[in-house]
Amino acid sequence: MKTEDEVRATISELWAQVLENDELAGDTDFFAAGGSSLKSLVMLAELNDAFETEFELADLAGCRTIDQQVTAVWNRLTGGPSAPRDGQAVVVPLTRDPGRSDVTFVAIHDVGGDVYGYLALAGQFSGRADLYGIKAAHEEFEVPRPLSIAGLAEKYVAALVSRLGAERRFVLVGWSLGGLIGFEMAKLLDERGRPVERLVLVDSPYELDLPSPDDAGMFTPEHERALLAGFAWEGTPPGASVAELWCAVRAGLDAPTKERLAAELHRRFPLLARVIPHLAGLNETEFVCYVNRFRSVYQAGRNHRPEGVTTAPVDLLTASRSQNFDARWAKHTSAAFRRVSLDGDHFSVLGRASAPATARTILALDDR
């Protein structure tokens, strides 16, 4: 593990690169030194890459100096106290365009429950449109929770209107499972008499049925019990429930066990490896909450089937190297339905290389 001095040196180097200034003092404010919403997203991604962590935007909101970020990263690496934050935030700002206030884009989380997948896209939106993200607060998942896509949509619509007001015009953007939630949100906003401008489904499957070895990707209680039982958690009674097993995990998860469990989870559940690649870098509480958030959202997606109609136009952006195009989406809008092809696979269409083209497509559709 890096020493605290090495952490400081790495963070100072990242600040110098992002802000193009290698003479910054430890107490210099990020935004006073030329930082912006886009640069803060870049810094977030670079920090997570450098230290194999899973910081969220809310984690670093109060860490606007090198000194504060060193403390936050060091505490994360060593299990020290985290910086105060609004852990229950659902709506988070990603980019702003002060000159354009007529339409607000809202990106809805994928199966991982967070908005990391949109960071490259957000970089392309900066200065061109307001973009907010919607995530599921991981602090709510110390144990697995029964969820429904409709229930999540209802919670998110209430949070969106509360945060941004009743007069905003929204374009909902949902990648993967986020499209299922976005469709339900569009219907709810119809019912409230404030239909969204557009619903953009980015390679969203009509039914969440993703392949995985031996169907382990279903992440059923039986799969979880079989996996966790192999680690012999102390104090766990025979026949313990999955919730009791996860509580035992949180209490007994030392660093070596965390490494082994993360590796086994990634092996058995390949999708989890794609959406939470730095699982082993989380502290014990976050580890359990992130995994439980994933499995809870995933189960909600598997149990969901689209029903009803929205009055919003629907744009289905499908990846050229995926199999997620489903013509049944067309029957769920009373307005226009358009299909646009994006070059890439399910994951790469939001990656750094493809994000410029994906952003241009989304923004161009808005201008038609």
Structural domain spans, the chain: 4-78, 91-208+304-367, 213-302
Q: Which long-range contacts (CB under 8 A, 24 or more apart) does 4-9 make?
A: 4/70, 4/74, 7/51, 7/70, 7/73, 7/74, 7/77, 8/66, 8/70
Residue with structure tokens 């960071």?
119
Consecutive H or E run containing 285: helix 284-302
| Six token digits for residue 316 | 């289905």
pLDDT score recorded for residue 59: 65
pLDDT score recorded for residue 335: 97
CATH 3.40.50.1820 holds for 91-208+304-367:
yes
pLDDT score recorded for residue 366: 63
- Give me the tens of pLDDT residue by residue for the chain, a chain 368 residues long: 789 999 999 999 999 988 888 889 998 888 778 876 567 777 887 887 788 776 766 567 668 889 989 998 998 888 765 554 444 568 887 877 766 667 899 999 999 898 878 888 887 887 788 889 999 987 788 888 899 999 999 999 999 998 888 778 899 999 999 999 999 999 999 999 988 999 999 999 998 765 444 444 556 667 777 777 777 666 666 777 777 888 888 787 888 888 888 898 888 888 888 888 778 777 788 888 888 899 899 889 989 999 999 999 999 999 999 888 899 999 999 999 999 999 999 999 998 889 999 999 999 876 65
| Residue 25 burial by Cβ neighbours in a 10 Å radius (0-12, 13-18, 19+) | exposed
- CA atoms of 149 and 153, how far apart (whole Å): 6
CATH 1.10.1200.10 holds for 4-78:
yes
pLDDT score recorded for residue 280: 79
Contact 149, 136 (CB under 8 A): no
Contact 12, 66 (CB under 8 A): yes
Sign, CA torsion 247/253/257/261: positive
- CA atoms of 93 and 238, how far apart (whole Å): 46
- CA atoms of 21 and 34, how far apart (whole Å): 9
Count of CB atoms situated within 10 Å of the CB of 68: 18
Contact 180, 156 (CB under 8 A): no
pLDDT score recorded for residue 209: 65
Contact 116, 58 (CB under 8 A): no
Give the torsion through C-alpha atoms of 16, 83, 253, 90, to 10 deg: -100
Contact 280, 262 (CB under 8 A): yes
What letter represents residue 246's amino acid?
W
| Residue 98 burial by Cβ neighbours in a 10 Å radius (0-12, 13-18, 19+) | exposed
Give the pairing type, strands 130-134 and 91-95.
antiparallel
| 4-78 matches 91-208+304-367 in fold | no
Count CA atoms closer than 13 A to 94's CA, side-chain side: 30
3-state secondary structure of 131: strand
